[in-house]
Amino acid sequence: MMNWRASPVVKVGLSIAVATGLYGISFGALAVAAGLSPWQAQALSLLMFTGGSQFAFIGVIAGGGAGSAAFTAATLLGVRNAVYGMQMNRMLGLRGWRRWLGAQVTIDESAATASSQVVALEQRRGFWAAGIGVFVLWNVFTAVGALAGDALGDPRRWGLDGAAVAAFLALLWPRLRQRDAVAIAIVAALVTVLALPWVPPGIPILLAAAVAALWGALVPGPRDEGLEPDVEPRSTQERA
């Protein structure tokens, strides 16, 4: 059995965890600036644990919105994780306590890391490395940002928001090997951009996901002639 530490996808997952986890400094600092206590900011990272929803929540609070409005905005952005969860459940086949833990760490980064692999063993390793890695580091750096507060200045000047986005795009790029995938990505991005000024936070992402699902249902899949097989044969050692 391949050593976890020697697995390339584990290294990828951990690098994604570092880039995304560092962005937790921004959340911690902004949460306290919005009027939350450090403990409240930490509770959001531990329990809500989905960056987009957390930023939406504190954004509404900072703007003077009610807690119910903040909760609604966060929920709409978090719906995408339910979509990821269905995909990860089918892909990884988690059972028992692993299913509950997997649900908690199913986020953009863990789903993307798993989906970027074609071998089942590497899918599982990538999912857990990115999911648990981000969870631990996101919470650690949320505490740092919440306690340091204004001493850090504007968190965006450190480029942490760009690091998280760049890491996610690095996972997405290798998936765009076929024209259908590129076309879906362009259409989904266009739908998101057009919807942003008109609908509440979270809805543009759901609209883009609906467009991608409709495309998958109506447009025939790409032909596989001349392509390398997606599933690599497992070695005798892995079968054992």
pTM above 0.75, yes or no: no
User: Which residue matches tokens 């994780």?
Assistant: 81
pLDDT tens digit sequence for 7-33 = 888 988 898 898 888 888 888 888 888
Spell out the SS3 assignment of the chain: CCCHHHCHHHHHHHHHHHHHHHCHHHHHHHHHHCCCCHHHHHHHHHHHCCHHHHHHHHHHHHCCCCHHHHHHHHHHHHHHHHHHHHHHHHHHCCCCHHHHHHHHCCCHHHHHHHHCCCCHHHHHHHHHHHHHHHHHHHHHHHHHHHHHHHHHCCHHHHCHHHHHHHHHHHHHHHHCCCHHHHHHHHHHHHHHHHHCCCCCCCHHHHHHHHHHHHHHHHCCCCCCCCCCCCCCCCCHHHHC
- The pLDDT of 142-156, averaged and rounded, is 74
How large is the C-alpha radius of gyration of the chain?
Answer: 19
Residue entry with tokens 């054992």: 240
Report residue 168 as tokens.
């996610």
Residue ranges of domains in the chain: 4-175, 178-220
Handedness of CA 236, 233, 130, 11 (dihedral sign): positive
| Dist. CA 55–CA 73, nearest whole Å | 10
- Per residue in 121-132, pLDDT (tens digit) is 999 999 999 999
Tell me the per-residue pLDDT of 101-140, one tens digit each, with 9 for 90 and over.
999 999 988 998 998 888 999 999 999 999 999 999 999 9
Question: Residue 171 pLDDT more than 60?
Answer: no
CB 187: neighbour CB atoms within 10 A? 14
Nearest to 120 by CA among 15, 10, 232: 232
Tens digits of residue pLDDT in 198-239: 776 656 766 776 776 676 666 655 544 444 444 444 444 444
Amino acid type, 13: G
Q: What is the pLDDT of residue 40?
A: 93
Tokens of 206: 């759901």
Q: How many residues does the chain have?
A: 240
Instruction: Report how far residue 32's alpha carbon sits from residue 182's, in angstroms, rounded to the nearest whole number.
Output: 40
- For the record, the structure tokens of 134 come out as 């981000």
